[in-house]
Amino acid sequence: MTKYFVDKVIIITGASSGIGLAAARLFNSLGAKIVMAARSYEKLTALREEMSDKDKVLCVKTDVSVEEDCRNLIDKAVEKFGRIDILVNNAGISMRAMFLDLDLVVIKKLMDTNFWGTVYCTKYALPYLLKTKGSVVGVISTAGHIGLPGRTGYSASKFAIRGFLNTLRVEHRYDGLHVMVFAPGFTSSNIRNTALLADGSPQGMTPRNENKMMSAERVAQRMAFGIRFRKKDMILTPMGKMTKLVDFVLPRLVEWVEYQMMAKEPESPIRKKK
C-alpha cells in the first residue's frame, strides 16, 4: 500500500474536515503529493502545518460549485506537480427537510456543490488522468443508492454522481481509467452540522450520535484500499450493503424501515407513522 501511493499526485476536494481531511493526512503519510481544496484557504494552510510531510502539500482555495475555481484547482495542481494521478471528489453538503416545506434554492445549492462540483473537477482533470491511467473517486452515500426521506436534494445529487461516474467508466473502459463510486454510510464528520434546513440555513448541530458512526480515518483507509485495488463500487457499512440487497427483493420493506428510522431522529422533519 505504501509503495503504491509514493509520489502519486492526489487532489482532494472538501479537504478541510471530515473524510477529506482524513484522506489527505493518510495519503500524505503514505508518501503521496497532496492537493487540498476547500473554501477556507486559511484553514487549509493551518492543517497543512500538521501534515507529516508538508513539503508535499499544496493548498488551493476552491468553491467546487464555481466552475472557474475547479479549473483553477486543476491548473494549480499541474503547475506545482506536473501531473495528476488521483482525483477524490469529496466536497459535499447535506440537507434535512421535507420536500413539501423546502425552499428550492436548497436543492440547487446541493446540486451545485455535490453534483456539479464533481462534474467540473472531473472535466478539467480528465485529460491528465487519462495520461497517467489514474483514478476518479466520487464520494456518495447509501443515499445515492436508496432515496432517504427528508434528504431529497442530497439523495438526488448522490444518485446523479453515481450515474455520471458509472457512465464515465463505460466511456473509458479501454483507456485505463479507474472510476470508483465510494459510499461510506454514516460517518463521524461535520456534514450534519452544516446540513441545510428547509429555509437554507445551516442545521448547526448533528441529530445523531457521532460516536457510534464509522470514523473518518477508517473511511479514508477503506478509500485507499479501493483506489489501490481499483475497485468499481464500495459500500462500506453492512447496513448499507444489506439495504441495497433487500431493496432489490423487497423494496416496500426497505421504504418502511427507512421511513421509521429517519422519523426517529431527534426533531425529525418526518412524522413517525405506523
pLDDT along the chain (274 residues), means of 10: 91 96 96 97 95 94 98 98 98 94 96 98 98 98 91 96 98 98 77 80 66 84 97 89 82 86 83 58
C-alpha cell at 72: 483553477
Q: pTM for the full model?
A: 0.91
154 among known catalytic residues: yes
Annotation: CATH topology of 2-244: Rossmann fold (3.40.50)
Single-letter residue type at 261: M
User: What dihedral angle (degrees, nearest 10) is formed by the CA atoms of 179, 34, 14, 25?
Assistant: 110
What string of H, E and C letters represents the secondary structure of 124-175?
Answer: HHHHHHHHHCCEEEEECCHHHCCCCCCEHHHHHHHHHHHHHHHHHHHHCCCC
Catalytic residue among 120, 124, 154, 259: 154
Q: Residue 190 has what pLDDT? A: 59
Q: Residue 207 has what pLDDT? A: 59
Q: Where are the domains of the chain?
A: 2-244
Q: Residue 52 has what pLDDT? A: 87
Residues 6+ apart with CB under 8 A from 57: 24, 28, 33, 34, 35, 36, 48, 51
Q: Residue 181 has what pLDDT? A: 98
**208 C-beta neighbours (distance < 10 Å), count:** 12
Exposure on the CB side of residue 199, measured as CA atoms within 13 A:
2
